[in-house]
């Protein structure tokens, strides 16, 4: 017993998807439910009894009769479109993307076609947004199906590998791998498909990829699994790390050269100086008292002073080399007691006044290099002040992931144009004070080694020198891994 139109309406009128029932011959719309009329902007009365062609875009109408004939020749449940996009025509004239499923239905004793329509507009919009985001990502991205075929690549990846847009589509992923990796990669790919997790590929190994030109380049690859409409796909995020590898190699070479220099400075320079000092002592002992005129004594003293100065310069060089090493020992540091400790270790004449203004929470950091850096800056504020009395102000504020320490004074300040030169090794902005021009170079090297920065500020309120130290209060992974 087949249902009637009234019975069909009672069951399907408020169904969440659009339902359309079409007769066989002549092909007329017998029923359209509420979801379908809302989807396409019609009243039910405007559709009932009309031909189906008014709901079809112009380019689909010539094929409609053949589609209907094929369905009634083999009436069974099926999806329309065979993977292509389908559209229905809205009453206002624009196309609405839809999914359509067909099923045979007997209505009032006659064989009909029931079409079930789902509006794909939102899904299509989300897909378009995904494609736009995918294409705009600066990192190379690949989507690979379960057979290992590339289904999507973004412009960044195409550029990394030297391919034109779309050239990689439906190519096996192995075309991007050096020949020696290809056979083993198929097994790795299958293993990952069985136990998919978000992870880095080849952890602990140096990975290389194959450019279209045949050259290899180092990469990092992150993997994730996506559940898509067509099945499970793997998402690969590929980063070309050629520049980083070059920088790492250059840094290793620089460090090796610095270690070699440190060894030379410590042994091959210090020993001759000590030998010269010993020779001067022996010569002085061998000279009779009558020969020790005031000018001779003065020359011996000048020579000894210069030897001591040269040894001090060697010590400064070694200190500069050691300042580039990062201290891995973390302690919980409370800012105000740290400043108090610094002030207790620096000789500040009683004629100088110190103001401290600190606002910040305890944080985990290597205590010694931070304390030493602040100690050097406070000591410089006294040594290079230029007056017999003065004011030093120390301030700390939290800014983002940094604690920003400001050390300023009301002294003679830093000459214009010397903001960068004062951080160079053996540069002295003021020749009237003692020292070899190493303190600020060591301080900056030490701060940089721990992920911070130091700059000269021209916005100080006291009119003298003003330094701002940005010291990490929240460690970042790239700093931790150095």
Residue 251 binned pLDDT confidence (cut-offs 50, 70, 90): confident
Q: Does residue 258 register a pLDDT over 80? A: no
| Residues above pLDDT 70, as percent of the chain | 86
Indicate the residue among 96, 119, 142 that finishes a domain.
119
Residue 251 domain-assigned (yes or no): no
Number of domains in the chain: 4
Q: Tell me: the pLDDT tens digits for 180-232?
A: 888 777 667 667 666 666 556 655 567 889 999 999 999 888 888 888 777 78
Tell me the three state secondary structure of residue 480. Answer: helix
Q: What is the mean pLDDT of the chain?
A: 85
What integer pLDDT is reported at residue 436 of this predicted model? 54
Q: Residues near 154 by Cβ (< 8 Å), separated by ≥ 6?
A: 134, 135, 136, 137, 140, 141
Q: What are phi and psi of 384, to 5 degrees?
A: -105, 15
Structural domain contains residue 246: no
Alpha-carbon separation of residue 193 from 144, 145, 187, 198, 214 (angstroms) = 11, 10, 10, 12, 28
* Reported confidence tier of residue 480, pLDDT bands at 50, 70, 90: very low
Band the pLDDT of 364: cuts 50, 70, 90.
very high
Helices 439-449 and 367-383: angle between axes, nearest 10 degrees: 150
Q: 161 lies in a domain? A: yes
Among residues 243, 219, 223, the alpha carbon closest in space to that of 233 is found at 223
pLDDT of residue 286: 83
Beta-bridge partner residues of 218: 208
Report the distance separating Cα 118 and Cα 38, nearest Å: 12
Given 289, 323, 357, which residue is the final one in a domain?
Answer: 323
- Would the pLDDT of 321 be above 80? no
Q: Are residues 129 and 176 in the same domain?
A: yes
For residue 114, the tally of other CB atoms under 10 A from its CB is 19
Q: Which of 53-62, 188-197, 271-280, 319-328 has the highest mean pLDDT?
A: 53-62
Q: Are residues 431 and 476 in the same domain?
A: yes
Q: What tokens appear for 451 in the block?
A: 């992920």
- Are 51 and 190 contained in the same domain? no
For the stretch 16-53, pLDDT in tens is 999 999 998 888 999 999 999 999 999 878 898 898 88
pLDDT tens, position by position, 387-399: 889 999 999 999 9
| 479 has a pLDDT exceeding 50 | no
The pLDDT, as a whole number, for residue 126 is 85
Pair type for strands 352-358 and 390-399:
parallel
Boundaries of domain holding 277? 257-323
Q: Are 365 and 330 in contact (CB under 8 A)?
A: yes
Q: Are 345 and 459 part of one and the same domain?
A: yes
Q: Which of 119, 227, 211 is nearest to 168 (CA)?
A: 211
Please say whether the beta carbons of 232 and 225 come within 8 A: yes
């Amino acid at each position: 017993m087949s249902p009637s139109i009234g019975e069909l309406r009672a069951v399907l009128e408020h169904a969440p998807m659009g339902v359309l029932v079409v007769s066989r011959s002549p092909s007329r719309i017998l029923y359209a439910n509420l979801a379908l009329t809302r989807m396409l902007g019609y009243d039910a009365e405007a559709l009932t009894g009309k031909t189906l062609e008014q709901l079809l875009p112009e380019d689909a109408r010539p094929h409609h009769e053949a589609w209907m004939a094929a369905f009634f020749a083999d009436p069974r449940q099926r999806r329309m479109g065979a993977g292509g996009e389908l559209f229905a025509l809205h009453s206002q004239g624009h196309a609405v993307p839809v999914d359509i499923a067909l099923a045979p239905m007997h209505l009032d004793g006659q064989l009909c076609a029931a079409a079930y329509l789902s509006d794909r507009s939102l899904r299509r919009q989300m897909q378009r947004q995904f494609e736009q985001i995918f294409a705009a990502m600066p990192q190379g991205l690949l989507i690979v199906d379960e057979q290992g075929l590339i289904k999507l690549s973004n412009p960044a990846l195409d550029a990394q590998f030297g391919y034109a847009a779309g050239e990689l589509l439906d190519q096996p992923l192995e075309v991007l791998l050096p020949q020696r990796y290809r056979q083993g990669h198929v097994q790795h790919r299958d293993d990952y498909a069985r136990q998919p997790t978000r992870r880095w590929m080849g952890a602990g190994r140096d990975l290389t990829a194959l450019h279209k030109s045949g050259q290899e380049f180092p990469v990092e690859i992150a993997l994730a699994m996506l559940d898509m409409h067509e099945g499970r796909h793997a998402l690969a995020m590929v980063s070309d790390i050629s520049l980083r590898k070059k920088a790492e190699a250059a840094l290793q070479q620089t460090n090796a050269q610095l270690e070699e220099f440190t060894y030379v400075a410590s042994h091959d320079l210090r020993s001759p100086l000590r030998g010269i000092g010993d020779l001067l002592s022996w010569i002085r002992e061998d000279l009779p008292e009558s020969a020790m005129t005031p000018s001779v004594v003065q020359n011996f003293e000048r020579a000894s002073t210069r030897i001591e100065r040269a040894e001090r310069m060697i010590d400064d060089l070694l200190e500069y080399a050691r300042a580039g090493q990062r201290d891995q020992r973390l302690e919980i540091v409370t800012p105000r007691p740290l400043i108090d400790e610094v002030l207790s270790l620096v000789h500040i004449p009683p004629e100088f006044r110190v103001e401290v203004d600190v606002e910040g929470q305890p944080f985990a950091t290597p205590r010694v290099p931070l304390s030493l850096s602040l100690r050097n800056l406070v000591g410089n504020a006294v040594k290079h002040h230029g007056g017999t009395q003065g004011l030093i102000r120390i301030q700390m504020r939290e800014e983002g992931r940094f604690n920003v320490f400001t050390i300023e004074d009301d002294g003679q300040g830093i000459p214009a144009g010397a903001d960068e030169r004062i951080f160079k090794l053996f540069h002295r902005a003021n020749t009237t004070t003692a020292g070899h021009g190493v303190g600020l170079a060591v301080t900056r090297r030490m701060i940089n080694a721990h992920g911070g920065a130091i700059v000269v500020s021209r916005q100080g309120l006291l009119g003298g020198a003003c330094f701002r130290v940005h010291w990490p209060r929240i460690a970042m992974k790239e700093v931790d891994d150095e």
